[in-house]
Structure 1
């Protein structure tokens, strides 16, 4: 932050105007990022953020999640696999690669760049499932009879009172419950 604050305000304003004009003429991130990175404390990732604020429909912010999702493990379709990248270099080439991959996805799906960012963030920030658990809920251990009794139809039995036939008990001697609602 000290480096960014050390930029002369007039020079920073002129540099940003020059970069936005270069971007507006060509709609290419590769033309504007080098201009913005002339400012102290502004690298390609921060420059992409400035451009993404300027044009959220077409420019993706160079965030870790977006890069890992779209570029970490490229396949033949031009998309990533969402695996951790060995090391992001945060250079112009990676910034351009990310925006090219995002453009391919945006064009195919008809979405905005900011939507691509949001999906990448949501997908890569999901908590990892704990060992021995289902992604949606904890599943009782198959060896624990009491835990098996608690799980009925995917819901914990503690949330409602079990009927004898649901809990494995005998249904004999228990009358069948009927709804008291009027059926039309």
Structure 2
């Protein structure tokens, strides 16, 4: 799906096919990891009042979700799984308190070894999906034309574009968060890859341009 598309129906279609796209990847534990990330973790974070935080075990599971849904980088999981509990609690608590300043929130999390802007964005998206979308390669490609730069500066550009798109698509009838936009873009990109893989080699080459 083209990022500039303003057809709300197409975006809703992309978003509603998210779960079936997750299933289509046939990756071990991805369904349960995705359920943990989208449905179980957010309410747990919000129940920790007045200073919400994430635990090392939760961060490790979040990292498993991120790497299973995207590119597998085992060293990142090793780094995150061995982080000190107090350090993770402290950094994440400061990050959540920094919102709505997304730049400051990402910076508070990236002091942790193995946590770059992309992983930080996943933590923030779980807590505040209306502010901070997850920095997935597929959504970066669609919104910015590249997924090679994982810097804070690039993430802020990305988040701003997805916040703007979410506002553009939202109305009295439909409500989109920046995280909804990310999932719709990811879902659409995975759908296109699936189509390409089922086509003959010639049409596959044409699609790759």
| Structure 2 stretches lacking a partner, 5+ long | 1-76, 171-175, 204-209
**Take 1:122 and 1:2, find their aligned partners in 2: how far apart are those partners?**
28
User: How does 1:24-39 map onto structure 2 within 5 Å?
Assistant: 27-39=100-112
Aligned to 1:42: 115
Larger Rg: 1
4+ residue runs of structure 1 moved beyond 3 angstroms? none
Q: What are the equivalent positions in structure 2 for 1:28-177 lying under 5 Å apart?
A: 28-72=101-145, 85=146, 88-110=148-170, 111-125=176-190, 126=192, 127-128=195-196, 130=199
The equivalent of 1:18 in structure 2 is: 94
Give the deviation of 1:107 after TM superposition: 1.1
Q: Deviations over 1:65-113 (max 9, x none)?
A: 11111111xxxxxxxxxxxx2x512110111111000011011111112
CA drift at 1:115: 1.4
The higher relative CO (CA closer than 8 Å, separation ≥ 6) is in 2
Higher helix share: 2
SS class of match (1:12):
helix
* Structure 1 residue 45, shift from structure 2 partner: 0.3
Structure 2 distance, partners of 1:114, 1:4, is: 23
Quote the Cα distance in structure 1 between the aligned partners of 2:151 and 2:139: 15
1:170 aligns with none
The separation in 1 between residues aligned to 2:81 and 2:106, in whole angstroms, is 19
Q: How many residues align?
A: 117
TM-score, scaled relative to structure 1: 0.59
Paired residues of 2:130 and 2:178 also in contact (CA < 8 A) = yes
CA RMSD across the alignment? 1.7
Unaligned residue ranges in structure 1 (runs of 5+) = 73-84, 134-184
Q: Is the Cα–Cα contact under 8 Å of residues 163 and 177 in structure 2 kept in the other structure?
A: no
